[in-house]
Chains A and B, each alone.
Chain A
């Protein structure tokens, strides 16, 4: 069983819509949760980090964490074509180990 699971997509949304990206993880002891964006041919870059249950907002991005359900999500409001990328969910499970999901490809249509 994969430790961090994401729908690989592609997820296609029109410009201006809300994109919703989801992630589940298997290790209940996981402590920190991250969303990275990766453009084709580039390295992953951090979008959001979240450490406690609830919502965390940063501009057009909102991360949501539910530790009881072992679920993390990322909402992108007012999606722009420049948001088209692969979004990687990452979970720090302790012991120096951060596990990545396989990523969800997002396409924002102009």
Chain B
């Protein structure tokens, strides 16, 4: 009964590969996010979706393509992975806009 769950937890892959991360929330929230956290712990917003519609795209390379089949799911597909993509990726969801976000457990992506 995890509120925000994402899979996989760890992902190790070679440069140039394509990979996906899945996220699901059972909180009934309308808004979902992808954040990237680098080695310095800086948590940077990548995308925001509201009711399956893309709201925010923070100048992320177009190798990153989010997809929201319904408002409970937000997946992230990454093409042609690069070394600099190595980070922890967090999915999050939010109810009313001025309230807190709830985070998934994170996916540690390592590109070798």
Contacts and interface: CB of A to CB of B under 8 A. Distances in A.
Given A96-B97, A97-B56, A43 B104 contact: yes
Given A43-B103, A45-B103, A100 B97 contact: no
The 10 closest A-B pairs by CB, nearest first: A100-B43, A43-B103, A32-B98, A46-B100, A96-B48, A102-B42, A96-B55, A103-B41, A31-B98, A44-B103
Chain B: interface secondary structure?
A: strand
Nearest to B101: A98
A106 interface: no
A49 B99 CA distance: 8
A51 B45 contact: no
A94 B55 CA distance: 12
Interface of A: 31-32, 34, 38, 42-46, 49, 51, 86, 88, 90, 92, 94-100, 102-103
Contacts of A51: 98
Interface in B37-63: 40-45, 48, 50, 55-56
A107 B105 CA distance: 23
B90 A43 contact: yes
Chain A: interface secondary structure?
A: strand
Nearest to B104: A43
B55 A88 contact: no
B99 A99 contact: no
Interface of B: 31, 33, 35, 40-45, 48, 50, 55-56, 90, 94, 97-106
Which residue, A86, A98, A100, A103, has most C-beta atoms of chain B within 10 A? A98
A102 B41 CA distance: 6
A90 B42 CA distance: 11
A75 B100 CA distance: 19
Which residue, A49, A90, A95, A100, has most C-beta atoms of chain B within 10 A? A100
Nearest to B41: A103
Contact of B43 (A49, A88, A97): A88
A44 B56 CA distance: 21
Contacts of A92: 97-98
